[in-house]
Structure 1
C-alpha cells in the first residue's frame, strides 16, 4: 500500500491516503471529501449517505467510512470562498451538506495522478488550481470578504501561541467581543477559539514536517502539552497525531506556499 501524504499550504490542507476504518471528526474548516477508488459512506445527523465527492461545512460532526479504499480530504480556506465556489457545483443534501460535484471526474483524475507522480506540494497545488482552489483573480458569486475577519485570522496566524481574549481581538477591528463572536462564526462557520485550535494543528504539523518532536511542536503552537494536542487532533480529525504525522515510509508531510500573494 503506498504512503499517505499530507500537503500543507498557507490557507488549505490536503490529505491523500488510506484511513482503513471509520473516523468521526468535526473539522475546523469547510471540507471536501473524495473517494478516490469508491464511494465514501457518510453518517451525519443519524442518516447514512454515499458519494464520491462530499462538501461539508466547518464544525459539523460526521463519521466517514472509506471502506478501506483511498480517499482525499481537503480542508478549504477559512473565509469560505472555496466553499461558495464548490457548493454551486454540487447538489444540496439534507441534513446540510453537498455531494456529486459537476467537476468530479476531472477532480478525481487529477488528484490520483498528482499523488501517483509524487509531486512536491507546490506542484500539486498547481495541478489542482481551479479544480479545488479558485484563483484569487476568479470571481466567486456571492463571496463578500470581510476585512475585519481577515484581520482577526491574520492576528491569530501571526502568533498562534498567544491566547488573545475576544475583547483584545475585537478592539483591533472596532467591534465588541460579543459582536465579533457572531460575525466570526457567520463568516467561518466556527467560533474564534476553535479556529485558533485548528490553526495550531497546522503549525504543529508544519513543525513536525521539519523534524520537531511532537512535544516541542505542540508547545510552540500553543498547546499546553502533547496530551492537549492529541485530544484536539483526535476531536477535529478523528485520528491521533502519530497516525497522520508519524515519520515512516507510510507517511509523508509536504509543505508549500499555495497561491503567491493570497491573503487570508
Structure 2
C-alpha cells in the first residue's frame, strides 16, 4: 500500500469489471448504483434501508443493480465490492447472493475481510484478473457472461471516455444495425438499457480520480457530462453523495488499478 492509505487503511482496487473498496461510507443517503454491490462490515454491523423499511442488522448486505437503498455502518468505514452485471452469467450473482445471505454468509464475510488485509499489503504494480478477484473474495470465479462481439465493441467504445460521447446511433452504425435493433440487442445481451449502462459507466469512471487534486468542473467535462449540474445530480443518484463530498472523503485513499482482460486465466 502507498503512503496515502497506509495509516488510514483506506484503499480501492479498480478492475474493468470489479471494484474492491474499503473506506468511508459517508453520510447515509439513498443511492442507486448500476452494478451488483456486496457490503461487508469491517467492525460492528450494517443497517440497510429500502424505502421506509429498515432491514435486519447484519454484517453483510447484498444488493442487485439499480436498487434504491441506504447503507449505514456502526463503524465509519466498511468494505464494498462492485461486480459489473454484464460480466457475469445471468443468474450467477443471484446464486452468489443466496450463499452470502445464507449459511455461508459468515464465512464469506470473513473471507472478504481477509482479502482486505491481503490488499493492504498490495504493491501498485501487481496485476489481477476478475477471476483472481472472485477467487480471493468468494473462493471461486463467477461464471462469465458470453456477449455478442458487437456489444463487446460498443462497451469498449463507452469505456474510452475520450472525444465525443458515445451514442447508440454510432454504436449501431459500427455494428451494422439500425438504432432500434442495436438497442434491443444491447439490452438482451447485458440485461441493461444502453443509456442506463452508459450513465453508470461514466459515474464509475469517476472512481479513478477521487483522491486527486483536480478541478471537478473540468473532470465532469472530460468524462462526458454536459455540465456541472448534470454531473452532480448523476453522481449523487448513483453514490448517494455529491462529487465534492466523495473527493473530500477520499484524500487518504490508496487507489490501485488493474487492466487485465476478464477472461485472463489465473495460475
TM-score (norm 2): 0.76
Quote the Cα distance in structure 2 between the aligned partners of 1:28 and 1:49.
21
- Number of the residue aligned with 1:104: 108
Aligned to 1:90: 97
Distance 1:228 1:108 in 2: 35
- Tell me if structure 1 keeps the 8 A contact 2:32–2:69: yes
Q: Which structure has greater strand proportion?
A: 1
Root-mean-square deviation (CA, aligned residues, Å) is 3.5
Q: Distance in 1 between matches of 2:63 and 2:86?
A: 15
Residues 36-115 of structure 1: matches in 2 within 5 Å? 36-44=42-50, 46-50=52-56, 51-81=58-88, 84-91=91-98, 99-100=101-102, 102=104, 104-114=108-118
Which residue, out of 135, 144, 149, partners 1:130? 135
Quick one: distance in 2 between partners of 1:99 and 1:233? 28
- 1:224 aligns with 226
Distance 1:213 1:3 in 2: 26
In the alignment, the residues of structure 2 paired with residue 72 and residue 83 of structure 1 have an alpha-carbon distance, to the nearest angstrom, of 25
- Greater relative CO (CA pairs within 8 A, separation 6+): 2
- If the length of structure 1 is used for normalisation, what is the TM-score? 0.76
- Residue of structure 1 equivalent to 2:261: 261
Alignment of 1:1-264 (within 5 A): 2=8, 4-44=10-50, 46-50=52-56, 51-81=58-88, 84-91=91-98, 99-100=101-102, 102=104, 104-114=108-118, 117=120, 119-120=122-123, 123=126, 128-132=133-137, 140=143, 143-160=145-162, 162-207=164-209, 209=211, 211-246=213-248, 251-258=252-259, 260-262=260-262
**After the TM superposition, which segments of 4 or more aligned residues of structure 1 sit over 6 Å from their partners?**
none
Counterparts of 1:43 and 1:23, CA distance in 2: 10
Mind listing any 5+ residue stretches in structure 2 that lack a counterpart?
A: 1-6
Q: Does the 8 A contact of 2:236 with 2:243 survive in 1?
A: yes
**Partner SS, residue 86 of structure 2:** coil
Name the SS of the counterpart of 1:41 in structure 2. Answer: strand
Q: 1:41 to 1:112 in 2, by over 3 A?
A: same
In structure 2, what is the Cα distance between the partners aligned to 1:119 and 1:38?
25
CA-CA distance at 1:217 after TM superposition: 1.6
Equivalent residue, structure 1, for 2:4: none
How far did 1:24 drift?
1.1
Deviation of residue 166 (structure 1)? 1.9
